[in-house]
Amino acid sequence: MRKKIIKSKKPKEKRKNLIPGTAVYVGNKEQHNLHIEVFDYDKERYEERILEHVDEAFSFEDEQTITWINLNGLNYVQDIERLGKHYDLHPLTIEDIANTSQRPKIEEFEDYTYLVLKMLYYNEQNELVIEHISFVLGSNYVISFQEADGDVFDEVRNRIRNLKGRVRNSGADYLQYVLMDAIVDHYFTLLEVMSDNIESLEDALFESSENEGLAQEIQELKREVLRVRRAVVPLREVISRISKSDSDLFTEKTNIFINDLYDHIIQVSESIDLYREMTWGLMDMYMTTISNKMNEVMKVLTIISTIFIPLSFFAGLYGMNFEHMPELDYRYGYFILLGIMGLAVIGMLYYFKRKKWL
């Protein structure tokens, strides 16, 4: 059964004529409660806390530990501004954090690096969700800003809790890589679903092209692929700039992993371009199938018309009201004429069959 493709709402437009650096939430995901979680760890220990107020995050200042602050709820602009002020973030950075229409990018500052990515997944209603997520990477901390609850970082949390992998033995830059890698890895899961949708539509096209909603489903799938492409393709430039960056925040050891991440995003981009061509091909296939169906109908009608042309000739010939027509007085003329008509029909059907027109 094909997944129903549902249009997503467009994000709210950014208010105009505001002073540069003014943070305004641009999005549709409203959250009732601000949710902040903090992981503070080193090789020997880790601490996990859920905070009720953003001010509580200011107490994690130990330079010997790595701190990950994950804030859910971009509509809480004042709390984001307070957190940004504490970590001395540029006003334009805070503005971009709340602006969900911002494309993936990287900006390097003296004390931190700011990154924008898009987290892609299908929700329980099988709707494509493109969630804006920002990262601020410092010397010993990573701050992530999400639109709402729910993400792809559960495996990262488990690594920190259970001392799995390199994350507890590495710096903040490796934590940043691991978070980005989790997002990119989930792109592959999304591509699998998208591939299944394309294949199911292909099967539906061959089974029946008379489904009135099929063309609309193909069109919606095309838009979905384009939305994913706009969210993913700019990430190639972001990761490429990280690998070539002279910033001290990314160590040479971590850059090895960043290069591998770049290979993954190239693979994702190529797959998306392939699916884009396939969705365009689906529409062409749909139009071709409709055209073939119409040709079959016209072929049957043409054959029927061709069969009745000689029959109409005979009927018209002997339907004329001339006085001197010898065949009209013949006792078996009617039956002979019907026989000739029948032989003409059989002869034409045999000829059409030989020509493989039937």
pLDDT digits (tens, 9 = 90+) for 138-155: 999 999 999 877 788 999
Query: How large is the average pLDDT for residues 256-266?
Result: 94
User: From edge to edge, which strands make up the β-sheet containing 128-137?
Assistant: 46-51, 35-41, 66-72, 141-146, 128-137, 113-122, 105-108
Query: How large is the average pLDDT for residues 262-288?
Result: 88
Q: Which residue has the higher pLDDT, 138 or 215?
A: 138
Residue-level pLDDT at 163: 87
Which range has highest mean pLDDT (10-24, 25-39, 110-124)? Answer: 110-124
Going by C-alpha positions, the residue among 201, 179, 178, 198 that lies closest to residue 190 is: 198
Q: How far apart are CA 255 and CA 170, in angstroms?
A: 13
Q: How far apart are CA 134 and CA 114, in angstroms?
A: 7
Q: How far apart are CA 105 and CA 121, in angstroms?
A: 20
Residue-level pLDDT at 19: 60
Contact 71, 143 (CB under 8 A): yes
Specify the pTM: 0.77
Residue-level pLDDT at 297: 81
Q: What is the pLDDT of residues 30-51, one digit of tens each?
A: 555 788 999 999 999 999 999 9
Give the confidence band of 2 by pLDDT, cuts at 50, 70, 90. Answer: very low
Q: Which long-range contacts (CB under 8 A, 24 or more apart) does 160-169 make?
A: 160/39, 160/41, 160/46, 160/48, 160/68, 161/46, 161/48, 168/41, 168/42, 168/43, 168/46, 169/43
Contact 120, 190 (CB under 8 A): yes
DSSP percent split of the chain into helix, strand, coil, nearest 5: 55, 15, 30
Listed in order, strand segments (DSSP E) in 150-258 are none
Q: Based on C-alpha coordinates, what's the Rg of the chain?
A: 34
Residue-level pLDDT at 264: 94
Query: How large is the average pLDDT for residues 195-213?
Result: 77
Contact 145, 36 (CB under 8 A): no
